[in-house]
Structure 1
Amino acid sequence: MITTQDGLRKPTTLEAIFYFILSLLINATGNGLTVAANMGSSMWTASAANIAFDFNASISWVLIIYGALQILINIALLGQVNFSSILGNIIFISFFGPFVGIFKQFFMNLGISNLPLFATISLDILGICLVAIAVSIYQRLNLILHPGDEMTNILRFKYFSGNAKIAQWVNFSIPALVIIVLSLIFRQIVAVNIGTAIALLFQGIMITYSDQLIFPRLKHRL
Structure 2
Amino acid sequence: MYQDNGKPTIAGDFILLIISIIINSLGNALTVSLNLGSALWTASAVNMSHLFKMNLGNILLLEGIAVILANALLLRQFDWHRMLGNLIFMIPFSYLVSGLAHVLTVFHIQQLSVVPAVILDIVGVMMIGCGISIYQRINLILHPNDDLMQILRFRFLHGNAVLASLTAFLTPILIILICVLIQHQIWAVNIGTVVALLFQGTFIALSDRFVFKKLKHQRL
**TM exceeds 0.5?**
yes
- 8 Å CA contact retained: 1:124, 1:195: yes
- TM-score, normalization by structure 1: 0.96
The reply on whether 1:88 has 2:80 as its aligned counterpart is no
- 8 Å CA contact retained: 2:125, 2:196: yes
Match of 2:208 in 1: 211
Once the two structures are superposed, residues 165-194 of structure 1 have per-residue CA deviations (whole angstroms, 9 ceiling, x without a partner) of 111111100000010111111000010000
Q: Describe the shift of the 1:210–1:3 C-alpha distance in structure 2 as closer, same or farther (beyond 3 A).
A: farther
Match of 2:151 among 147, 151, 154: 154
- 8 Å CA contact retained: 2:6, 2:214: no
What RMSD, in angstroms, separates the aligned Cα atoms of the two structures? 1.1
CA distance in 2, matches of 1:118, 1:3: 44
Match of 1:34 in 2: 31
Q: Describe the shift of the 1:86–1:195 C-alpha distance in structure 2 as closer, same or farther (beyond 3 A).
A: same
Secondary structure at the counterpart of residue 31 of structure 1:
helix
- TM-score, normalization by structure 2: 0.96
AA partner of residue 49 (structure 1): V
Match of 1:166 among 148, 163, 166: 163
Once the two structures are superposed, residues 57-78 of structure 1 have per-residue CA deviations (whole angstroms, 9 ceiling, x without a partner) of 1100000001101100110111
Match of 1:18 in 2: 15
AA partner of residue 105 (structure 2): M
Match of 2:135 in 1: 138
Q: Give 1:39 deviation, angstroms.
A: 0.3
The within-5 A match list for 1:111-126 is: 111-126=108-123
The reply on whether 1:184 has 2:185 as its aligned counterpart is no
CA distance in 1, matches of 2:153, 2:3: 22
For structure 2, the residue ranges without an aligned partner over 5 or more in a row are none
- 8 Å CA contact retained: 1:28, 1:96: yes
AA partner of residue 112 (structure 2): L
Alignment size in residue pairs: 218
AA partner of residue 99 (structure 1): L
- 8 Å CA contact retained: 1:183, 1:189: yes
Secondary structure at the counterpart of residue 169 of structure 2:
helix
Secondary structure at the counterpart of residue 219 of structure 1:
coil
Q: Give 1:106 deviation, angstroms.
A: 1.1
CA distance in 2, matches of 1:88, 1:220: 17
Match of 1:73 in 2: 70
CA distance in 2, matches of 1:40, 1:3: 40
- 8 Å CA contact retained: 1:3, 1:217: no
Q: Give 1:55 deviation, angstroms.
A: 2.1
For structure 1, the residue ranges without an aligned partner over 5 or more in a row are none
CA distance in 2, matches of 1:44, 1:3: 35
AA partner of residue 95 (structure 1): P
What percent of counterpart residues are identical?
41
